[in-house]
Each structure stands twice: as C-alpha cells, then as structure tokens.
Chains A and B, each alone.
Chain A
C-alpha cells in the first residue's frame, strides 16, 4: 500500500477580471462618492452562484458590495454533452 502522502493536483481557479474606471463609471459608480479611498483596482468581475442562480458580478473586493449583477447562463460554467446539438 502507498503511504498516506499522495500528491494533490494543482487546483482550478475562477479568474477575477480587472475592471477599468470607465467601466465603473458606465455602471454609475462614482468612486469618490460611493467608495471613498478606493480605486478601480479594488473591483473585480467574476461569476458567482447565489440565491437566484448564476450571475456575473462586478464587486468591490473589500466590502463585497456589488455594483453590477448580470444574470449568467442557466447552468453557469457547466457544458452539457448535448449543448450545441440542433435537433430541429
């Protein structure tokens, strides 16, 4: 039997995309007013699973406050083997 120390493969990660100041402004965020002391570098865009299913959020990383929540695909990142099959 092998010893207990077995290798753990490198894990997978969700990428958190950077967000520009222009993108934040387009979302109606006034950094000075809404997040004093923060810059665009404090925000990230990424998919989350929550109460209502999958959403792509733009979120202030320190306060976890979302400035945008857009509905994502129904199954999020799952690709079914039947996806893309046109039966009609």
Chain B
C-alpha cells in the first residue's frame, strides 16, 4: 500500500480533490471548527455538568455516500468520541437522509443506536451545499436530567430502560431553523430541571449553526471537492498512522481479564471481561467472547461504548500522536457478542454507568498488551469514577441536585516510561475538568471538606503511580444518595514493566450522630480508628475496624440502594491508587526521599516498598530528611533476593 507521503502531487489531487497543502489546511480547520463549537458551548452553558465537567464533544462527519466518516473530534470528553461516528450514521440512516433539509437538527439519545447514556443527547445538524448534503456537525452534550426514576440519572440500581430514562429515537428538533415544539415537549414533559435544559439546548443549537457556518465558509474558499476530499484525507491519515503503529508491535495472541465488582441487585455476581487480542502485521482483532452476560441493572455499557474504550486504549498505548478520527479503527476489528455487560441490549440491559464497565475494557487492553509493549506499557488508573449523585430540598422547598461533583470522580493515573503519574485527573477514558469547590458550594448545600492524597497508595515503581485521592463532603440538608464505586475488589491501578499495583479504594458515610462536623467545628480524622464509627458503602474492608483490607470482606455499594442521610452527614471517598512502572528497586533513593518529603510515601513505605531507609520527620521537618545509603543498599539487596 502506498504511503500518503509517497503519493505524488497528481495522485494526491486525484484522490483528495486538492493539493496536499490544501487538504492539510482543511483537515486542521475541521479540528478548529469543532473546538470553536465547544468553546462556544462551554462559555454559555448553564448546567453544571456542561460548565464544570466539560461533558460534551463535537464532531464533523462526512456525507452518506462516504459512509459518514468522522473527520474531526473535539478535545473534550473522550468517552463520546468512538460512539459518534455510529451515532451519526445510525441516526441519519434511520431518519432517512432524503428527509433532511437545510435548517434541520435531528436528535437521538438511545444508547443502543447512538452509544453513551440517555442523558447524552446527540444533536446533529446536516450541512448542505447547493442543495447537496455534504456533512454533519454534531454536538453530544449531557443534559442534566432525562427522566427516569433517579433525579439526574446517575445510579447503578435502575433495572431496565423504562426506569432508566427517556429514550429518544431519531427525532427532528428543529425544522427550517425553528424549534419543533412537539419534540421539546417530549423532553420537557419527561425531564427534570427544564429551566436549565432549555437554555443549554438553545446554546447547543447556536453552536451547531457556528459549525455549519464555518464549514460553508471553508467550502466557499476552497471548493466542495477539496472539502469532501479533506474529510477522507483526515480519516486516511488516522488509518495509516494506526496501521504503522500496529506494525511496530510483535505479532501474537494476547489475552487478559478484567471486570467490575457487581451490579445493583446484589453482590452475588461478578462481571468479567474476557479479551483475546490477535495482532498480525498491521492488523488487530479484539475478541470479547466469554464476557459475562449483561447485568441486571444500569451498570451496563453499550456496544459503541466498548468501541470507544478500544479506540482510546489503542490511541493511548500505540498511536498517541496523531489526531483521533474514525479512521483510527480501519485496521481494527472488534468481535463482540450482544447481551454482555459491555454490549447490553434492550429492554432489560439498562445502560447508564457505561464507563464503569468499559473502563475495564480499556484496562484489559492495557493488561493484554503489557508484554508486547515492554517499556512502552502504561500503568492502570483509579478505575472507577466513583460518581456520587445526591438530591434533596432546601428549607424554602427548592430542590437541589449534585451529580459527579462530590464523589471520588477524580484520581490518579498509572506511571509510564516518561515519569511518575499525575494524582488528580479523570479516568483514562475521560478528558474533563474538575468542578471548582467554590462552584459546588455556591449551588449545592454541600461543603467539600477534604481533597487530599493518601500516603503509600501509589503503585510503587521506578516511576511511581499517582496517589489515591481522599475526599470528604458534608451535606447540610437531608438527602438521598446514589453511590457507584464499582471497582473496589481488585486493583485497577495495574503495575507494569515490573511496577506494582496501586492500593484499593473504598467509600464510607459518617452519620452526624457519630461526628457532627459543623457543631464540633472539626474535620473527621484520617487515622484508622475513625472508620469504626462509619457505615461502609463499598470496598474490601476489615469488618471490625472498617479500614481498607484487601483480604477483608466485600462491602456492597447497593446494599442500601438509596442512602438516606440526615443533615450534616459526611461521605468519604477514597479512590484506588495508580499503577507503578518499572521495578521499585530501580527508583533512586533521592526520588523516594522526595516522595517522603511530599508525603506521597511514608518512611515505613519507603522501607517496605522501595528498600530505602530514611530518617527524620516528614511533617515537622521535611527538608531535614536523611537517606541512610548503607542501610538502603543492604535492604535493597535483601529485597532483590526475594
């Protein structure tokens, strides 16, 4: 196959309808357009999930005769990106491209047709040039509520699509640039918080117009043939880049297993992904046969979410440099039976916490390819968004809701060849912001008491995994809570290249009768003895002390499906730790000492995990710490023998 770079000018022009420079400019401009659409949405969004979480993505797709290639994606929520090429194709093919007119917007939020969950509504705008359909601009944006039995939707306990929320098949939302009132009524008669949804949808619509306008300006300047050629060129570049990257991996069959703790009915079933990767030359096949059947509640993912996880994992591991387009999948085939918990089917396979199930898909790819990647292997992250969804009523009767703000949504990544991992990010499949504490506290009757790192939770290694995050939130009113830590039984922070796994996380709730934080004007401590007074929500815990213990008992997140609390209750989330890279014995004593100074590692942890002997007082005199080099050499020699 001739490389794109080896095409001569005439060949290039014949393939792509323009010279090479123009095609590159147009491909870059498409990325500029989707980014501009996102900036417009971010600047004008009203609801917290868009404004504070960046929970949206924009894409450009080509026309039906090109089979809807997705030529550019925004630098935003990665979990959306692999679903959106199918979302556009499936929505428009069902609606009928022949039924589209300039001025239309079509929506769809069905997880089985378009991926993600019902709150992630796809808004698709056809772009016409001289009465010919040439493209689609799409914004998928999380709507704060889309009906169902749980306000704001985030719950792992909903049992089917009927409890899950409103499913919208491909539906016209705007015609001739005017709202279709029946479509708005369909949403607003089923969803909560419509006073927020309406301005958000109007903002989304305006940014679709912006995307359309910028595409048409591009066409006017460079010609429609060059534009359509650039759509294909952008995806061809991705395909070639992925092919080249795959060719660099050793051929072979690579297998891995991963999973989540359980679903929302009981803890009697563990859900496991079985992955077999076959790699030959510049092609790869990922077969998920053997994966557990779909769960009984809304922890499932859809087929397209699994496709995203595969794409994100492979871009992350083997082809991280070039922009993501649908072309990245060209050398990859996914073999996936329907009806598993990562390919759920309607009406019983409710899809909501889809990233909790596809995070392990990504992790399974990481695990499977570890040996093939060698030094390029990447450690696992904290594995679960630990999303917390709560709602209640203020004293004046105003309802409030918090979603994905006050759980363990942010945490550590795994280490790489390049260095230590970040300790406060979002899971690999996301690419979001962290809601500001001030924003949370200004809108929700909650106080974020702590966001701090847990010493000795990082996966030890020559390069250290990120540290687990401990987060406490005080709820000032009575509230009902849905907690969803789904990866607590085993480490998600997988260690690679000789590195060790990160520590396990857990979740607890502290009743105000045990400790009334506002009254006592004192935080709940972090010493082991405080947990005896807690109610465990999830995790592997010592049943007596209720502290984290990998050999303890499993405490089940939905043992109480809805956690009802009195005013001044505190939820505590501890994320998993990130995986280490390389042997801990190869980490220089100076770097370990710096970790002790910064309280990522304790003096005891330095000795136990790294074989580094340090004396001094990290808290009282952090700059006075001393390395005992002789004792360190002795300890490391002992550890090396073991």
Whether the pair A1, B90 counts as a contact (CB closer than 8 A) is no
Listed residue (A49, A74, A82) with the most chain B CB atoms within 10 angstroms of its CB: A49
Contact of A9 with B292 at beta-carbon distance under 8 Å, contacts A1-B554, A74-B90, A78-B338 already known: yes
CA–CA, A4 and B260, complex, Å: 12
- The reply to whether B262 and A6 contact each other, CB–CB distance below 8 Å, is yes
Q: Which residue of A lies closest to B270 (CB)?
A: A6
Which of B290, B345, B489, B553 sits near A78, CB closer than 8 Å? B345
> Interface residue count for A (Cβ, 8 Å)?
36
The reply to whether B329 and A74 form a contact with Cβ atoms under 8 Å apart is no
A13 contacts B280, CB within 8 Å? Answer: no
- The closest CB in chain A to the CB of B337 belongs to A12
Contact of A11 with B291 at beta-carbon distance under 8 Å, contacts A64-B280, A75-B90, A76-B338 already known: yes
Chain A nearest CB, measured from B94 CB (Å): 7
The answer to whether the Cβ of A57 comes within 8 Å of any Cβ in the partner chain is yes
Interface residues of B in 424-442 (CB under 8 A from A): none
CB distance from B72 to the nearest CB of A (A): 15
Using Cβ atoms and an 8 Å threshold, which residues of chain B touch A59? 285, 333
- Asked if A4 and B489 sit within 8 Å, CB to CB, the answer is yes
Q: Are B556 and A11 in contact (CB under 8 A)?
A: no
Contact-residue size bin, chain B (C-beta under 8 Å from the other chain):
35 or more
Q: A1-B554, A1-B556, A49-B307 are in contact. Are A64 and B337 (CB under 8 A)?
A: no
A9-B293, A11-B289 in contact; A2/B268 too (CB < 8 A)? yes
Q: In the complex, what residues of A have CB within 8 A of residue B489's CB?
A: 4
In angstroms, Cα B111 to Cα A78, docked, is 11
Docked Cα-Cα span, A52 to B291, in Å, equals 24
B339 CB-CB contact with A under 8 Å: yes
Q: Is the interface of B mostly helix, strand, loop or mixed?
A: mixed
State the CA gap A51–B69 with chains docked (Å): 8
Q: Are A52 and B67 closer than 8 Å at their CB atoms?
A: yes
**Cβ distance B347 to chain A, nearest Cβ, rounded Å:** 5
> In whole angstroms, what is the CA distance A59 to B287 when docked?
14
Chain A residues numbered 7-33 whose CB sits less than 8 Å from any CB in chain B: 7-9, 11-14
Q: Which residue of A lies closest to B489 (CB)?
A: A4
Question: Which residue in A2, A7, A14, A81 is a CB contact (below 8 Å) of B337?
Answer: A14
Decide if B597 is an interface residue (CB 8 Å cutoff).
no
By a CB distance below 8 angstroms, the chain B residues around A64 are: 278, 280-281, 283-285, 333
Chain A, residues 73-88, CB within 8 Å of chain B (1/0): the string is 0111111111000000
Cα–Cα, bound, A12→B342 (Å): 11
Q: Does A40 contact B (CB under 8 A)?
A: no
Check if B337 sits within 8 Å of A48, measured CB to CB: no
- With both beta carbons as reference points, the residue of chain B lying nearest to A12 in the complex is identified as B337
Residues of B within 8 A of A12 (CB): 289-291, 293, 337-340
Contact residues in B for A80 (Cβ distance below 8 Å): 110, 112-113, 346
Inter-chain CA distance A15–B471, complex, in Å, is: 46
Enumerate chain B residues within 8 angstroms of A48, measured Cβ to Cβ.
285, 333-335
Complex interface: chain B residues within 8 A of A57 (CB): 333
A49 and B303 contacting across the interface, CB-CB below 8 Å: yes
A59 to B525, CA, bound (A): 60
What's the least CB distance linking B274 to chain A, in Å? 6
Interface residues of B in 587-618 (CB under 8 A from A): none
Known: A74-B94, A80-B346, A82-B169. A4 touches B540 (CB 8 A): yes
Query: Nearest-CB distance from B492 to chain A (Å)?
Result: 15
Contacts of B335 in A (CB 8 A): 14, 46-49
The answer to whether A6 touches B267 (Cβ under 8 A) is yes
Nearest chain-B residue to A1 (Cβ)? B553
> What residues on B are CB-neighbors of A62 within 8 Å?
280
CB distance B326 to A3 under 8 Å? no
Tell me the smallest distance from the CB of A70 to a CB of chain B, in Å: 14
Q: Which of B269, B283, B307, B336 contacts A9 (CB 8 A)?
A: B269
Instruction: Tell me which residues from 320 to 364 in chain B have a Cβ below 8 Å from any Cβ of chain A.
Output: 326-330, 332-340, 343, 345-347
Considering the complex, give the chain A residue whose CB is closest to the CB of B326.
A51
Nearest to A60 among chain B residues (CB) is: B280
Q: Check B113–A75 contact: CB distance below 8 A.
A: yes
User: Which chain A residues border B346 with CB–CB below 8 Å?
Assistant: 78-81
Q: Which of A2, A53, A82 contacts B86 (CB 8 A)?
A: A53
Q: Using Cβ atoms and an 8 Å threshold, which residues of chain A touch B227?
A: none
A53-B293 Cα distance, complex, nearest whole Å = 23
Across-interface contacts of B345 in A (CB, < 8 A): 77-79
Q: How far is the CA of A82 from the CA of B285 in the complex (A)?
A: 32
Contacting pair A53 B89 (CB below 8 A): yes
Q: Does residue B239 face the partner (Cβ distance < 8 Å to A)?
A: yes
B543 within 8 Å of A (CB atoms):
yes
Distance from B261 Cβ to chain A, minimum over Cβ atoms (Å)? 8
Contact A78 B269 (CB under 8 A): no
Across the interface, name the chain A residue whose C-beta is closest to B347. A81
CA distance in complex: A81, B113 (Å): 12
B634 within 8 A of A: no
Q: How near does chain B come to A59, taking the closest CB pair, in angstroms? A: 8
Task: Tell whether, in the assembled complex, residue A51 and residue B239 are in contact, meaning their CB atoms are under 8 Å apart.
Answer: yes
A14 to chain B, nearest CB (A): 5
- Supposing A9-B269, A12-B289 touch, asked if A3 and B303 sit within 8 A by C-beta, the answer is no
Q: How far is the CB of A62 from chain B (nearest CB, A)?
A: 7
Contact residues in A for B291 (Cβ distance below 8 Å): 11-12
Q: Is B117 at the interface (CB under 8 A from chain A)? A: no
Interface residue? B56 (CB, 8 A): no
Q: Do the beta carbons of A50 and B540 come within 8 Å of each other?
A: no
A11 to B342, CA, bound (A): 12
Q: From B552, which residue of chain A is reached at the shortest CB distance?
A: A4
A-B residue pairs in contact (CB < 8 Å), sample of 23:
A1-B556, A11-B272, A11-B289, A11-B292, A13-B289, A13-B290, A14-B335, A49-B334, A49-B335, A50-B332, A50-B333, A51-B235, A63-B281, A64-B281, A65-B283, A74-B89, A75-B90, A77-B303, A77-B337, A78-B112, A79-B345, A80-B112, A80-B346
Pairs A-B, 8 closest by C-beta atoms: A77-B338, A13-B289, A11-B290, A48-B333, A51-B329, A12-B337, A64-B283, A49-B334
Residues of B at the A interface (CB closer than 8 Å) are 67, 69, 85-86, 89-90, 93-94, 110, 112-113, 161, 169, 235, 239, 259, 262, 267-272, 274, 278, 280-281, 283-285, 287, 289-293, 303, 307, 326-330, 332-340, 343, 345-347, 489, 540, 543, 553-556, 559
Given A49-B307, A80-B346, 13 more contacts at CB 8 Å?
A4-B540, A6-B267, A6-B268, A8-B271, A8-B272, A11-B289, A13-B289, A51-B235, A51-B239, A75-B113, A76-B338, A77-B339, A80-B112
User: Which residues of A pack against B, CB within 8 Å?
Assistant: 1-4, 6-9, 11-14, 46-53, 57, 59, 61-65, 74-82
